[in-house]
Structure 1
């Protein structure tokens, strides 16, 4: 993991919609941290600092360091509520990380050599069905992303979930089903359409 994220938060005593609105007006984001065999704790963190962290893709799939007062714990981001019309974060959920216990997290997919793969060079079109996958692993094995090298994919090739090359210690969270991740579709206006056009012209 190449990036470290440190979040400084403050405990909060007041709860409810009115209290949350006052916090947001003051530039703070109401949040909660739970799990880790401890009681949930209500906290607040600066909105501007949170926005800076959210600019990094790794923040969403990374073990974070959360400091609340004098206590420091390892957490992951589990839920993020955004304002439906404005660029504001309304609430955040963090989950405490326990060493030795597996996490279930959504991890982004990075598609490599998409433009230079065999199928695209032959005129094929890339069709992505998934942009992230949910994985299960120990905290120290959590990847920031999973790479998919498409360089050898030909027209008509399909990559399924079961064919993903996962890092050591990482497995898919859902064993059932085998969804399509990415495929190379035949180019539009292929040979069949051309032959149909010729037949129509002759008629």
Structure 2
């Protein structure tokens, strides 16, 4: 499996808030590598390169390499903490990725043909229920995104996970129902018209 980024790191023996502040003054971030039935490894990584990697997108779905003092670890970022005010990266958790392993990741959802969607052209609104879907995936085949085609979606339609062509070996963690990813909410005027039509049909049947 090809790595999409590589970060240089050093083993870290200092822990605690004071040590973390000192590291950040040096342009470094505290982080940890864990998993694969091995001992957790506290490390430091460069703030600048990590921030650039984060903002490229796909940080939580791309395999990376962490070079810790010459020893390379294949990882995927599982979580990161941001400063509550400045949005600076404060800490990163990396999970070791073994060959042939499977991972649970949040895969983003992309919508195709939104500009030509008939339901939206008729005044409907795309209501996104899930911006991401939690999935179990092979470590060497993590999808960039799930795609939903809106080319035929009409007002009132619900778009379910069954409408998504899933990559081979990938499946959602929710398997007991065909859950909704998005809906095309019908415009209020159209709903009122439909209700009136139903009422008139009911009156006709009563006569």
Tell me the TM-score normalised to structure 1 length: 0.88
Q: How many matched pairs? A: 196
- In 2, distance between residues paired with 1:7 and 1:188? 52
- In 2, distance between residues paired with 1:191 and 1:111? 24
- Please name the residue that 1:125 is paired with: 125
- In 2, distance between residues paired with 1:191 and 1:9? 58
Q: Provide Cα deviations, 1:105-126, integer angstroms capped at 9, x if missing partner.
A: 1111111111211211222111
Q: Provide Cα deviations, 1:41-97, integer angstroms capped at 9, x if missing partner.
A: 000111111111111222221111111111112110101110111121111000000
- Please name the residue that 1:151 is paired with: 151
CA shift for structure 1 position 175: 2.0
- Please name the residue that 1:92 is paired with: 92
Query: Is the 8 Å Cα contact of residues 34 and 95 (structure 1) preserved in structure 2?
Result: yes
- Please name the residue that 1:199 is paired with: none
2:97 corresponds to 1:102: no
The alignment yields a C-alpha RMSD, in angstroms, of: 2.1
SS in 2 for 1:95: strand
Range with bigger deviation, 10-19 or 154-163: 154-163
Query: Is the 8 Å Cα contact of residues 83 and 90 (structure 2) preserved in structure 1?
Result: yes
SS in 2 for 1:183: strand
- After superposition, where does 1:12-91 map in structure 2 within 5 Å? 12-91=12-91
- In 1, distance between residues paired with 2:186 and 2:131? 21
Tell me the TM-score normalised to structure 2 length: 0.87
Gaps of 5+ in 2: 197-207
- In 2, distance between residues paired with 1:191 and 1:46? 55
Query: Is the 8 Å Cα contact of residues 5 and 59 (structure 1) preserved in structure 2?
Result: no
Query: Is the 8 Å Cα contact of residues 78 and 94 (structure 2) preserved in structure 1?
Result: yes
Query: Is the 8 Å Cα contact of residues 112 and 147 (structure 2) preserved in structure 1?
Result: yes
Query: Is the 8 Å Cα contact of residues 3 and 58 (structure 1) preserved in structure 2?
Result: no
Query: Is the 8 Å Cα contact of residues 148 and 163 (structure 2) preserved in structure 1?
Result: no
Query: Is the 8 Å Cα contact of residues 29 and 44 (structure 2) preserved in structure 1?
Result: yes
Q: Which runs of 4+ in 1 moved over 6 A?
A: 193-196
